[in-house]
Every structure is written in structure tokens, then in C-alpha cells.
Amino acid sequence: MHTFDEVSRMMRSLNLKHGRESLNALLAQAGDQELSPLQWTGMLLGHELNEREQQRRATNRRKAGIQVEKHLDEFDYRHQTTITKRQVAQLLDFQFIDNRQNLIFIGPPGVGKTHLATGIALKALEQGCKVWFSTALALTEDLEMAEIRGRLKARIAQLCRYDLVVIDELGYLPMNRQNNHNLFQLIHALYEYRSAILTTNKDFTRWGDFFVDENVAVPIVDRLIHHAQIFMLGGDSYRLRQKMGGGSVAGVGQN
């Protein structure tokens, strides 16, 4: 027969951290429920696996980089009528991630693009996917710093370990040639290997407005839309509408 301390040490050696931390409570529960040795072993291992999964998901959530949570159940489909609740719900089986497809939300500022991208990203995290979220500006700065340090390929390889990469607000600011080149390398690395969600205020015919080189814009668009579901969102800015008491703001704040 082993003592409590001996069992605790063996669990430490086996890296059963969560079971070891809860050993007293699990033993008490086994006694109360008169569990057989096999039942208790199953309870112990089940507890360990569940705690590890919860910890993994919490770690993924911290690494995702989502600064402001926007949940899908808070999305106002009455205001944004160019996409339906059913269309969004159909994305939540995450077949698009399994199939390495992209989602692209195009529309003027304030119509819910970021809300949808964030909400879908949060749901993906709940399903155990690894997600990385960034604005286009922060992404270009990130890649530029990696390029300066001679670590661009390594940084892109890191980003390709995520199941889903979200790039928000692409096109709000122009990019220089090096930014274009760095972004192309990332999109090329993700192509048919990982899924991306992009939000942008410009349709594809206007991507030359923020890409300095058309020769870079075309292959980026080509790779993004080859396996993509594209959603064109219209309407007034929801934020401006709220600020103005629900009145019409057609034409205001659109790029």
C-alpha cells in the first residue's frame, strides 16, 4: 500500500498536476460515492484531462490578442440587414477552417465588420482553435520589426501555427513597398494551409489605394479570394447612428 505522500510524488513524476492538486477532494468524493478502483481512476484521469483542456483554452485566449470582446449574440441584425443571422450561424461549424477557406467582410466603417470577425474568432476559441487577431496596422508593424531583426521568416512561421489569423481594418492606411512585400509573404504562407478572416473598407478594385505596387496587390487578392466566402456589408455607420439618436447618416463616414 502506498501512502498519500508517495502517491502525490508519483503523480508529480507523471505530471498529473491538476489531479495531484485535487487529490484530497477526489479521494473524499470516491469515499462518499463508494467508487470502485476503476471508477476512481477514471474520475482522476477525467479531472486531469478536463483541467488541461480548460488551461489550454485559457492560454489560447490570452495569445489571441483580442483587445475588445464583441460577441455574436450582441450583433444587431435589425440594423445590419445585408447579412443574416442564418448566414453567420452556418459559419460556426468551422468547416471553413477545416477546408482552409477565408472569410472576407467588405464595407464602409461602422457597419459591423470587426464585430463579426471578433465574434467568430471568439467562437473558434471556444471550440479549441488557436486564433491570432490583429489590426492591419499592428500586423505591418509586427512584420516590419521582424524583418529589421532578420526574423521575418521565423515570425511568419509562428503565425502559421494558428488555425485562424484575423486581420482587421485592412486598407484604412496606405502601406509602403516593404509592408506590401511582408504582407504578401504572410498571405502566401497562409494560402491553402491556414484560414484567415479579413475586414476591409475597400472592395478589391480599390486595393491599389493602399498597396503601393499593383504587382503585389493582384497576387494577394488572388490568394485571398481563391478559397473564400465574401460578404459585402452595406448601410449606415452603427456608431454614428447611435450617436445621432437613430437618424439616417447615409453617406457620412464612408470611405
Q: What is the pLDDT of residues 27-82, one digit of tens each?
A: 888 788 888 888 888 888 888 888 888 888 888 889 999 989 999 999 999 888 89
User: Looking at residue 244, what DSSP letter applies?
Assistant: T
Mean pLDDT score, 157-185 = 92
Question: Where does the pLDDT of residue 238 fall: very low under 50, low under 70, confident under 90, or very high at 90 and above?
Answer: low
pLDDT: which is higher, 250 or 93: 93
C-alpha dist (Å) from residue 195 to 45, 107, 143, 163, 182:
34, 20, 19, 6, 18
How many other β-carbons are positioned within 10 Å of the β-carbon of residue 22? 16
Asked if residue 246 has pLDDT above 80, the reply is: no
What is the separation of C-alpha 28 from the centre of its chain, rounded to a whole number of angstroms?
40
Percent of the chain whose pLDDT exceeds 70? 92
The residue ranges of DSSP E strands in the chain, in sequence order, are 102-106, 131-135, 164-170, 195-200, 228-232
pLDDT at 97: 97
Residue 211 to residue 233: CA distance in whole angstroms: 22
Strand partners, 134: 167
Asked if residue 248 has pLDDT above 60, the reply is: no
- Is the alpha carbon torsion for 186, 188, 189, 190 positive or negative? positive
Instruction: Decide: 134 and 104 in contact? Cβ < 8 Å.
Output: no
Residue 216 to residue 181: CA distance in whole angstroms: 7
User: Domains of the chain by range and CATH?
Assistant: 4-63 (no CATH), 65-243 (3.40.50.300)
CB contact set of 216 (below 8 Å; sequence gap of 6+) = 180, 181, 183, 184
Tell me the pLDDT of the chain averaged across its residues.
87
Asked which of 124-128, 199-203, 214-218, 249-253 is least confident by mean pLDDT, the reply is 249-253
- Is the alpha carbon torsion for 205, 209, 214, 216 positive or negative? negative
Q: What is the pLDDT of residues 104-138, one digit of tens each?
A: 999 998 899 999 999 999 999 999 999 999 999 99
Residue 230 to residue 101: CA distance in whole angstroms: 11
Asked if residue 242 has pLDDT above 60, the reply is: no
Name the pTM for this structure.
0.79
